[in-house]
């Protein structure tokens, strides 16, 4: 089995993919991100501010910056390049750096670390989903 023709318009291409039965609707995925992005922005914004003020160590920036970079790269890789293998690697990196961020933040702010739990749960789910889609369309 192979991926659908990459020259197809995006929506037609996406609809032709084999997906697990539990795949959320596109609108549901959009709603989830619409809730998560403000949470992520607040958590990472507070952390960046605390680092900028010199209250927290700069080492906290590494997982945060990597997470943002991987998150921003996922969509162009998945839907622009339509490269499912690389998208699987990317989403695992998003998940891993989200966990790393929460672990690093915990000693400085338990509230901020706990606020990342929905993001971690979603990226874990998205990782499993992405890997299944990749395998199903290989």
Task: Return per-residue pLDDT of the chain as tens, 138 residues.
Answer: 456 677 888 778 888 899 999 999 989 999 999 999 999 999 999 999 999 999 999 999 999 999 999 999 999 999 889 999 999 999 999 999 999 999 999 999 999 999 999 999 999 999 999 999 999 998
The pTM is what? 0.92
Rg of the chain on CA atoms, in Å: 17
| C-alpha to C-alpha distances, 111 to 103, 107, 126, nearest whole angstrom | 12, 10, 24
For residue 88 the two structure tokens come to 């699987």
> Which residues, including other chains, have CB under 8 Å from residue 134's CB and lie 6 or more apart?
84, 85, 87, 88
Q: Please report, for the chain, the start and end positions of each structural domain, with discontinuous segments joined by +.
A: 25-136
Task: Taking the CA atoms of 7, 69, 85 and 88 in sequence, report the sign of the dihedral they define.
Answer: negative
């Amino acid at each position: 089995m192979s991926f659908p023709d990459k020259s197809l318009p995006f929506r037609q291409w996406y609809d032709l993919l084999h997906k697990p039965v539990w795949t959320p609707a596109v609108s549901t995925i959009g709603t989830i991100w619409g809730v998560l992005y403000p949470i992520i922005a607040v958590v990472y914004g507070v952390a960046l501010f605390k680092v900028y003020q010199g209250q927290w160590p700069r080492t906290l920036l590494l997982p945060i910056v990597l997470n943002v970079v991987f998150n921003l790269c996922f969509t162009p890789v998945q839907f622009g390049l339509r490269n499912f293998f690389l998208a699987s690697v990317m989403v695992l990196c998003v998940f891993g750096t989200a966990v790393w961020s929460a672990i690093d933040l915990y000693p400085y702010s338990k509230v901020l670390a706990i606020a990342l739990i929905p993001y971690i749960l979603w990226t874990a789910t998205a990782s499993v989903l992405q890997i299944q889609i990749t395998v199903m369309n290989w």
